[in-house]
Structure 1
């Protein structure tokens, strides 16, 4: 995944590399309670739920389970924090910025644990918001916003509930069935590398997963061959080991859903090129899976899998592939691979997605707005657009005396 501070993001100055992380072990668990209003609380009904290490199947600890009363308490605390008399509202912009940077430093300090299983640099996104937040907060001070990330089904429920709740605004960043279009003139090895980063990043458990790859007919077979070789080279193992490039799924329910969709792909006639099986009986590992010969009507072509499954389609002409890429209820991200920049720009404009990457994938920046079309959500995260989502603009008009 491309991240802030790398040359491909337009940064040319030399930035010292972080020390390569060493294999980490899960530390002693100190906090398992609900964190509300800067304090740790037992849930109102005293219920807990287990957290299991998906790599081993071993329970890590029991966590307090919030109930409606706990959520209400947290909401009241959040409202109180936004009152005019609250410390945050009285704080000047520079002080707010310093707190954001302090939070970023703490996240960077514990990045090995917070980003277990993610590529290095995944926590770079927060420091980039410092200057943006300072500038925006200087002119927009009132905040009245709720944001959620989740599935489209959950997002629909949230939106319906919000509509019955005094016109509460919500930002929804939801699902995706994201198309990549690979033209014959592209750098094929680059296209394979980037689309597989998109397909297998975080074991496919990502709203931006590159789950539909459309490849021009003349290079289709070569693209499939290179994709299979690349998928087989991934290293499966403990996500806390830096040598690992492919970890476990998040839980048994998701594991079972992915395996069911893989079986549906085989039954509906897609060709399983590699993977498609569980790795062992202890953890929730699924082999990186590549399907070729995928057709638009298949379940794996239409449903968000949220697992390590790459679906490769073929196409003949430009109008056809644009129609097929847009033929989905989702519209989060897309990608185009070609050396023809005129074509790249025209195709990017035609694709119904909130973000389009050209000759790259998952190139996210704190300064660039991110969000979806259609059922992939409402509003934008990141960039100044995101800060505007969380603020209210106020116009104050003063009539001046005409005594001059």
Structure 2
């Protein structure tokens, strides 16, 4: 029998895989006392099914480091079955060609079904991911809001009439792409599921989606509502599994016409290159190292709370986290003092404690990565103002961490840590802070804190970022597009811009006798 140390090593390196006759649903009792049936199979043709090889992998609770359950692991042959089901659903009359209003109605029903069960859904998210229950509830509400919002676009996806003179009748129309492959991350499992599935479905496409191997539970759970919402078989298919197998198979499949991916920039580049071989349409929402700028005229108390939200929300596992703070020199010392006090007041611990703000990191691997960067920062000569160590002896917890006295060429300033670690730099002029803010390969988001709205708009115009928050941070809305510049990705999530990712334009020009 493996020792506990050996077991943890294998879990960290590959998540132990078994051949199993696992039931397609298993009972789970959540830490808050709620009980539910967790689907464990692949979701294909509106049914949960075992994988072809009957291979499974374990899902770990990041709070306790113990196994939650096993789920079936998809392989290449499972992806092929799912893609064929999606292709059949798209080619028939049941989805892409029906009245668009019916698609919107089905998506709205799906939102309502999730809403009726939202406390269980949020609890699954906390259990699987480690995030604080209040953060999980916020995620689920965003999911519901976005599904309802996207449903409203269904019968409003129009082309245009083009005046080309009296000899021709010319117009355009938007058409769906076909089977869309979607690969989602582990930091916001259900929210990313919604951001991918909703625009694909409302535009008439069909989906084959891979969940993150460390957090598959919430997506599998809500998928059971899909047939009850009126979505036909084959329209949405979920294949749990590992990126190098399932992700590769989805990206390379000849019947997949578009790939959407959220995750690291390195993996995004690989997917982009692989998809290019068959000229698939690609959208990528990738990494970030976002600047959060505080001017001397800002309301410092509010700015501190926005910085806290920007870096410690969701345990810092946020692609757009405000991980680089730039503070005007005249208020730097006071700001650092207030931020240190606020960070040390952040409650870290059990995600199901209603007062917890920062839950667990999602995996041992992520915990190790964060602590490695803490050591790198110390080695580079940065001052550790607070935190920088593991919290508790069980679970993947890290104390909120602040580094000062940093230089712009330090790795902790340049590289994405993806955890509750922030660096603070002082600046004197607007030009100086703009140069530092833009000195990054990324360009996902930025924050500006000032009471001078003219200055805020001028700085927002000059910062190279897909989203700029002014006197707020991590402030998402279902109608506001989200996506990055540069190495932070291609395309946009949410808003009307997301619809563009899942449609193609056909021009029709008819000669008039």
Structure 1-normalised TM-score? Answer: 0.89
Match status 1:269 vs 2:381: yes
Determine whether 1:377 maps to 2:475. Answer: no
Partner of 2:455, secondary structure, is: helix
Counterpart in the other structure of 1:213: 325
Paired residue for 1:14? none
Question: Residues of 2 paired with 1:336 and 1:195: CA distance?
Answer: 10
Conserved in 2, the CA contact under 8 Å of 1:132 and 1:383?
no
2:167 is equivalent to residue 55 of structure 1? no
> Unpaired segments of 5 or more residues in structure 2?
1-29, 127-131, 160-172, 179-257
2:153 counterpart (114, 128, 132):
132
Q: 1:160 aligns with which of 273, 286, 290?
A: 273
Give me the whole-angstrom Cα distance separating, in 2, the residues matched to 1:291 and 1:111: 38
Instruction: Map Cα deviations across residues 141-162 of structure 1 (whole Å, 9 max, x no partner).
Output: 3234321111101100100001
SS at match of 2:506: coil
Asked if the contact 1:29–1:61 (Cα under 8 Å) also holds between the matched residues in 2, the reply is no
Residue 176 of structure 2 corresponds to 142
1:268 to 1:25, Cα distance in 2 relative to 1, 3 A = farther
How far has the Cα of 1:399 moved from its partner?
A: 2.6
Counterpart Cα distance in 1 of 2:440 and 2:508:
44
Q: How far 1:293 moved relative to its partner?
A: 1.7
Equivalent residues in 2 for 1:1-400 (5 A)? 24-25=32-33, 27-83=35-91, 85-115=92-122, 116=126, 117=132, 118=135, 120-122=137-139, 123-124=141-142, 125-136=146-157, 140-144=174-178, 145-165=258-278, 167-400=279-512
Structure 1 residue 187: Cα displacement: 1.0
Contact 1:82 1:143 in 2 (8 A): no
Q: Which runs of 5+ in 1 are unaligned?
A: 1-21
Distance in 1 of aligned mates of 2:155 and 2:339: 44
Q: Distance in 2 between matches of 1:299 and 1:113?
A: 40
Q: Provide the secondary structure at the position in 1 that maps to 2:38.
A: coil
Distance in 2, Cα, partners of 1:174 & 1:24: 34
**Structure 1 CA distance, aligned partners of 2:67 and 2:314?**
21
| Compared CA separation, residues 326 and 113, structure 1 to 2 (3 A) | farther
Q: Which moved more, 1:149-158 or 1:259-268?
A: 259-268
> 2: distance between equivalents of 1:119 and 1:76?
34
- Assess if the C-alpha contact under 8 Å between 1:34 and 1:64 holds in 2: yes
Corresponding residue of 1:6: none
SS at match of 2:327: strand
RMSD across aligned positions (CA): 1.8
Do the aligned partners of residues 251 and 113 (structure 1) sit closer, same or farther apart at CA in structure 2, a change above 3 Å counting? farther
Shift in Å, 1:113: 4.0
Using a 3 Å threshold, how does the CA distance of structure 1 residues 223 and 126 change in structure 2: closer, same or farther? farther
Larger RCO of the pair (alpha carbons < 8 Å, separation 6+): 1
Q: What displacement does 1:313 show?
A: 1.1
Deviations 1:342-387 (A, max 9, x none): 2111111111111111111112111111110111001111111110
Structure with higher strand content: 2
Assess if the C-alpha contact under 8 Å between 1:366 and 1:383 holds in 2: yes
Q: How many residues align?
A: 378
Shift of 1:222: 1.0
1:119–1:379 CA distance, 2 compared to 1 (3 A):
same
For the structure 1 residues 213 and 113, does the alpha-carbon distance in structure 2 shift closer, same or farther, using more than 3 Å as the test? farther
